[in-house]
Amino acid sequence: MYAAVLRTPYALRTFGAALLGRLSYGTVALSLMLAVTAATGSYAVAGAVMALYGAASVLLSPLRALFIDRYGPRRALPPMALSYAALLAVLAAVAWRPGAPGWLLVALALPTGALTPPLGPTMRTVWGQLLSDRRLLQRAYSLDGVAEELLLVSGPVLVGVLVLWAPAAFGVALSAGLVAVGTLAFVASPAVAGVAAVPRPAGRRRTARGKAARRLRQPVVVTLGIGVALGAADLLVLAFAEDRGRGGAAAWILAALSAGSAVGGLVNGAVNWRGAARTRLAFLAVGLAAALGGAALAPGLVALAVAAACVGLFVAPALTTAYLIADESVDAGFRTQAGAWVNTSLNAGCSAGTAGIGLLVGHVPLPLCFAAAALAPLVTGAVALGHIKPLRRLSSGVRGGAPRPTPRFRVTVSRRRRHRPTSGPRSPHPTGGPRASRAAYRSPTSSRPPRP
């Protein structure tokens, strides 16, 4: 099933190199926070460093992806990744010993986050180049999403092992080495050579961006709601566990959520879906909201772990579907940017969800907090469901069909026809004929590491 994806020429080599580089995203957040805290002895400095690093990494992701699309990954990724790795190495060197100047660490955090290479969106662009079969591409995206989820879980575990015998700054240096080696191996693959820069005429650039923005609206908005729910869930699980005197159990509950996401992603890739991807994404968001709302009824930690696993069943399928829609919604010259916008929406939602639910915890009962966290994917999923064309047509048919044009409109049309010349060739369509397009259905404050 998934073997067919990995048997594609150069797929395994390229995917393995990308995963090696993306492992650094799972290790750098915890390593940097521990290293800065140990070097300065100040949680305030550590918070400022993580806030600046995370904000620059998340908010500038579409801009970095624009450079990938405009110049190609072989030209844009190496300088970006090597500069990012060099700044991480400088951060590790400054934070290696106690007494490091906090202002210097804060100053280095912003440019470091700004240069985070978008390996995830670029790998998904490469998948689209390697696989022309849409079913295989769906499986590739599912495999990619599951692997990314596992990396984000295993990265902090690796850091926890490293800090037992080495300073936390060693984890920052390790992250620099992983992203440098992984990126260079990634761009050396022949599959990446096939992803060339796509020239775009200057006159059509604004029009193409406007069309892409309209098509990307649904996956970006739905992903934002999912991110809000996930960011809130992280904090709510911790609050639930501490409320019962078992704060350490929060890690196991979140692990159950990740395990559920991995299972859901693998199942999603194995099913040959017949319905439209946009409809599926909306239903997945609503299902995630229902599962998270059900967590409000959990009487204990075991029940909450089961509820978290049920929530996870919808996470990877929803994100995979959002990436698939983003890829199909834009032309070749915007694919990396489209994936980056979905990433940015997810990470921004996680940060907003954590910050927002933090204002409620302690003032509102936890069951109501879980219900409030479920509102974001429920609302965005329901709104997206209402904007899907087949459902709008169905609803208009139930109400008695589409409204007929008014007599005034018909008179105007008849007048135009009366004065139309009867000789000579018909003028071409004002837009140049039928439009050829692709198929339309095609956080610093969060404990969840951002997905560059």
Looking from the CA of 54 toward its CB, the CA atoms found within 13 Å total 26
Which residue in this structure is represented by tokens 């994917």? Answer: 377
% of the chain at pLDDT higher than 90? 53
Q: What is the mean pLDDT of residues 275-302?
A: 92
**226 phi, psi to nearest 5 deg:** -65, -40
Q: What pLDDT was estimated at residue 128?
A: 87
Higher pLDDT, 106 or 416: 106
Question: 134: pLDDT confidence band, cut at 50, 70 and 90?
Answer: confident
Q: Which carries the bigger pLDDT value, residue 211 or residue 149?
A: 149
pLDDT score for 152: 85
CB neighbour burial string for 276-298, b if at least 16 within 10 angstroms, e if fewer: bbbbbbbbbbbbbbbbbbbbbeb
Whether the pLDDT of residue 432 is over 90: the answer is: no
pLDDT class for 208, splitting at 50, 70, 90? Answer: low
pLDDT at 446 over 60: no
C-beta atoms surrounding 117 within 10 Å: 30
The rounded distance, in Å, linking the Cα atoms of 43 and 408 is 69
Q: In which band, very low, low, confident or very high, does the pLDDT at 331 lie, cut at 50, 70 and 90?
A: confident
Beta bridge partners of 364: 361
Across residues 375-395, what is the average pLDDT? 71
Quick check: 122 and 187 in contact, CB under 8 A?
Answer: no
**Choice between 442 and 89, residue whose per-residue pLDDT is larger:** 89
**Token pair for 411:** 């008179």
Asked which of 15-24, 108-117, 442-451 is least confident by mean pLDDT, the reply is: 442-451
Fold classification of 208-402+442-452 is Growth Hormone; Chain: A; (1.20.1250)
What is the C-alpha to C-alpha distance for residues 136 and 324, in angstroms, rounded to an integer? 11
Q: Which of the four pLDDT bands, split at 50, 70 and 90, describes residue 198?
A: low
**Annotated domain spans of the chain:** 1-195, 208-402+442-452
**Average pLDDT, integer, range 257-273:** 90
pLDDT at 447: 56
The model's confidence at residue 207, banded by pLDDT at 50, 70 and 90, is low
The number of beta carbons lying within 10 Å of the beta carbon of residue 150 is 18
Q: What angle do CA 66, 71, 73 make, to 5 degrees?
A: 85
- Geometric angle at alpha carbon 336, from 345 and 207, rounded to 5°: 90
**Angstrom distance (rounded) from CA 331 to CA 209:** 10
Residue 419 pLDDT level (bands cut at 50, 70, 90)? very low
Range scoring the smallest mean pLDDT among 53-67, 209-223, 263-277: 209-223
The domain defined by 1-195 folds into: Growth Hormone; Chain: A; (1.20.1250)
- Give the dihedral of Cα atoms 263, 267, 269, 273; nearest 10 deg: -150
Helices (DSSP H) in 271-360: which residue ranges?
A: 277-294, 301-329, 335-360
- pLDDT digit string (tens) for 145-190? 999 888 988 888 899 889 888 899 999 999 999 999 999 999 999 9
- What's the pLDDT at 39? 92
* C-alpha pair distances (Å), 436 with each of 40, 100, 280, 389, 439: 58, 58, 25, 19, 10
Same CATH fold assignment for domains 1-195 and 208-402+442-452: yes
pLDDT of residue 389: 52
Report the mean per-residue pLDDT for the chain: 83
pLDDT tens figures, 22-31? 999 999 999 9
In this predicted structure, what is the pLDDT of residue 157?
A: 87
Length of the chain: 452
Q: What is the pLDDT of residues 35-81, one digit of tens each?
A: 999 999 888 899 899 999 999 999 999 999 999 999 999 999 999 99
- The single residue listed with the structure tokens 């869930």 is 233
- The more confidently predicted of residues 290 and 152 is 290
pLDDT at residue 101 tops 60: yes
**Cβ within 8 Å of residue 80, ≥6 positions away:** 64, 67, 115, 117
- Of 336-345, 401-410, 440-449, which has the strongest mean pLDDT? 336-345
For the cut 80, the answer to whether the pLDDT of residue 300 exceeds it is yes
